[in-house]
Amino acid sequence: MITLGLPWILLLLPLPWLVWRFAPPHREQVAATRVPFFRRITEAAGVEPRPGASILPRGRLQMLGAICVWTLIVVALARPERLGEPVVIEKSARDIVLALDISGSMDARDFTRPDGSAQQRLAAVKDVLKQFIAARDGDRMALIVFGTKAFVQAPFTDDLQSLDGFLDQTVAGMAGPNTAIGDAIGLAVRTFEASEVEERLLILLSDGADNSSRMTPVNAAAIAADRGVVIQTIGVGDPDATGEDRVDLDALEDIAQRTGGAFFYADNEEALNDAYDRIDAMAPRKVEQTSFRPTRDLSWIAAGAALLIGLATVAALHLMARRGAA
């Protein structure tokens, strides 16, 4: 489909005719031969002398060439362009941060596979988390890992395959043996500062109680709520254990409630799968669509044709003049 970028330029097409029709004729004074007996000649011829002008004739070829050249120049100025097929671009309308506890206790092998065999907590979480990431194709995600300290393992990206690679590089205890839930939430809030979308979701998974944060989880959750961050929390591990091995389910539930999120508990791989499935259903993929049609400029064709016709007309007129002179 061909359209004009500036169609109003076509109003200039009749301009030469309007100038010819309404503008005063162009006049030039030229040198002339003075004849002393000019009056006697006119009297003998019986005519009355008066001011006059010679009008240069315009041939059909000259007029036709001028019309074609002017039309093509106006068309070129109107910016003809060819429209391509519509291109639709989807942009994520929700950014997600995955905060994963990789403290030393995540090395415990108390998760059970569907076949009944024991599995490491972190390995089970990775397996389920990869499935969750794969189902969110089109979303932007970031990965934060925390233990004694919290670190950004992967900044926001829509390349979810690379996120799987960063997830594979995490091992239990690499961020320290303790649990810093409050610091992980605070780091997630800072990570969201690079986000340009309004909907922000933090999915936090932990198997322990906060014992090394510089900011309490309650204060961090309050800040997150103020910044529009919704936190979904998942507790894994043993709530009946003692000391650092005990998962603080009450704290995780309180964090979720303060930000308008939900809390889930999972003690095996099937329950963990169910938790992420429910989160996926509560926060389905949300995208913003923008579309555009690529254009290809065609004005150079009209301009080139005008140039060629103009040169051909001048050459033809020159050749005709030479033949006439001969």
Report whether pLDDT(276) > 70.
yes
Bridge partners of residue 230, in order along the sequence? 201
Residues 145, 170 contacting (CB under 8 angstroms): yes
Mean pLDDT is lowest, of 66-80, 239-253, 309-323, for: 239-253
Nearest alpha carbon to residue 142 among 104, 183, 101, 195: 195
Q: What pLDDT, on the 0 to 100 scale, is given for residue 153?
A: 93
Kindly state the percentage of the chain with pLDDT values over 90.
30
Count of domains for the chain: 2
Residue 38 counted as domain residue? no
Residue 279 counted as domain residue? yes
Q: What pLDDT, on the 0 to 100 scale, is given for residue 272?
A: 87
pLDDT tens column, 164-195: 889 888 998 898 888 899 999 999 999 998 88
Give the E-state strand segments of 49-120 in sequence order. 80-83, 87-92, 94-101, 111-112, 118-119
Q: Please indicate whether residue 317 or residue 52 has the higher confidence score (pLDDT).
A: 317
Q: What is the pTM of this model?
A: 0.64
* Domain that includes residue 300, residue range: 1-20+57-85+294-326
Same domain assignment for residues 13 and 116:
no
Same domain assignment for residues 133 and 280:
yes
d(CA 292, CA 202): 33
246-274 b/e with 16+ CB inside 10 Å = b?
A: bbbbebbbebbebbebbbbbbbbbeebbe
How, if at all, do strands 87-92 and 94-101 pair?
Answer: unpaired
Same domain assignment for residues 114 and 187:
yes
